[in-house]
Amino acid sequence: MSSLFRTKSVEQSIAETEEPEHRLKKNLGALDLTIFGVGVIIGAGIFVYTGVVAATNAGPAIAISFAIAGAACALAALCYAEFASTVPVAGSAYTFSYATFGELVAWIIGWDLVLEFTVGASALSVGFSGYLQNVLEGTPFEVPASIGSAAEGVVDLPAMIIALLVAGVLIGGVKLSSRVNQIVVAIKLAVVALVIVVGVTYVNTANYSPFIPPSEPTGGAEGGFWKTPLISSIFGLEPAVFGVAGVIAGAAIVFFAFIGFDVVATTAEETRNPQKNVPIGILGSLAIVTVLYIAVCLVITGMQDYRDIDPNDPAPLATAFDKVGVEWIGNIIAVGATIGLTVVVLILMLGQTRVAFAMARDGLLPPALAKVHPRFGTPYVMTAITGTGVALLAGFVDFATLGDLVSIGTLFAFMLVSVGVLVLRRTRPDLPRAFRTPAVYVVATLSVLLCGYLMLNLIGETWVRFFIWMAIGLVVYAAYGRTHSRLARAERASERASS
């Protein structure tokens, strides 16, 4: 049992980054990281979930849902910033957990991050496909329904293609990825600014009344436990939409929109002066995006009555402008979103490859997965495998299912990081910390409580899928990682030497 809680020292983690066969190039600065963060966070949350959650959960108060989700992220971000500046190693929460909780918990969080980033990249590939089809609709290049949706057709081919193309860019190097990201983020920010500046002139304040629509019982969610928020099932509460409960449930759903700032932490090993630049990238990108999200929500729900929003519309921002007679704006938004979502897929896939790379370097996954390309300095084997997996998920699973899985995985990771920063403060007070979480005990505790509460507002079906995924992970660890990890091999070598 003691082997399950063996920890890997911070010093050892940092020393292993200098091994020639595992060394990643340090090409990123504070601006690169901030743009990475903004690039990945501005994605499906602003281009897709604004319509879905406003129509089904929160009404105009979706702005409050985003603010709640942003507050939870801000608390976790402060903990991430301290960890990333103290342990500037690829792997994010996985590496942090290895240094604090031990190998088993590190494996669990690493397996959870695989879920978050892989499924997140798949979900954003599907979001890209929806906007692309909106752009191509009515042209000779219109995508047939049979190959444009996993829910309504056979396969989502555009989603699969973009996932494979992004994998190719990632293999070409992190600096190439950063340059592509900078160009596309500029396009996305221009589109968001266009939505806010032009959209505000079409706002009808009557659409804000009621700002928080009165709670409406659902009469029992179709599908029972599977389609009911877990908190309702636990406490026997009547399932409802809108009202305060709807706003909070909406926050749990749109939490998906904030995934990404933790990707910045996964690139710490490829960053120049990570102790300074990683906290700037994490906190800066989150602050910028939260303000933009709330502004866009207020504009879109002010332009149209939330009751008129189609929750199944894959391009709600574009549709909002179409309805007020400015189709050209809608077309620009659709094109900008199509281009912009490619970068979100790219950065989420980047996060997944770095976490899996760190796990393989530690021996918890086959070492062959940690091979670095001799020319590009990237984990090309893991990137190719990830691209294939993302493409398959995107091609055959619908967006809503993918999005909820990402939210629960992310919230779970945030909770462990928040607890971990407290543990490391107690166990290693001697470590140099370029960034220290202010009022750490208050911030970390609030982060755990808020993230846990948001998790309880996700439906039973999502929880069951999450537990199945984690159970599979435990089987993989027991069958392979427990005996093949670097720490396990070192223990056996030490025992042989002593005998």
Give the pLDDT of residue 367: 87
pLDDT at position 67 over 80: yes
Question: Where are the alpha helices (H) located in 55-92, listed in sequence order?
Answer: 62-86
Is residue 474 within 8 Å of 103, Cβ to Cβ? Answer: no
Give the pLDDT of residue 218: 67
Give the pLDDT of residue 400: 67
Give the pLDDT of residue 464: 92
Residue 407 covered by a domain: yes
Residue 268 covered by a domain: yes
For 400-435, how does the pLDDT look when each residue is reduced to its tens digit (9 = 90+)?
677 777 788 888 888 988 998 898 888 888 888 878
**In angstroms, rounded to a whole number, what is the distance separating the alpha carbons of residues 91 and 400?**
27
Confidence of residue 207 (pLDDT cuts 50, 70, 90): very high
Specify the higher pLDDT residue, 304 or 47. 304
Residue with tokens 């996954």: 365
Residue 86 covered by a domain: yes
The enclosing domain of 409 has a CATH number of 1.20.1740.10
Specify the higher pLDDT residue, 262 or 70. 70
- When divided into structural domains, the chain yields a total of 1
Residue 251 covered by a domain: yes
Q: What percent of the chain has pLDDT over 70?
A: 89
Best CA proximity match to 293, nearest among 343, 251, 324 = 251
pLDDT at position 312 over 80: no
Q: How many residues does the chain have?
A: 499
For 451-489, how does the pLDDT look when each residue is reduced to its tens digit (9 = 90+)?
898 888 888 888 999 999 999 999 999 999 889 898 888
Residue 44's domain comprises 2-494
Confidence of residue 298 (pLDDT cuts 50, 70, 90): very high
Give the pLDDT of residue 488: 87
**In angstroms, rounded to a whole number, what is the distance separating the alpha carbons of residues 199 and 193?**
9
Residue 499 covered by a domain: no
Distance of CA 242 to the CA centre of its chain: 25
Give the pLDDT of residue 109: 86
Residue with tokens 């002139």: 201
Q: Which residues contact 196 (CB under 8 A, 6 or more apart)?
A: 292, 295, 296, 299
What pTM was computed for the model? 0.77
Q: Which residues contact 88 (CB under 8 A, 6 or more apart)?
A: 14, 268, 269, 271, 274, 275, 278
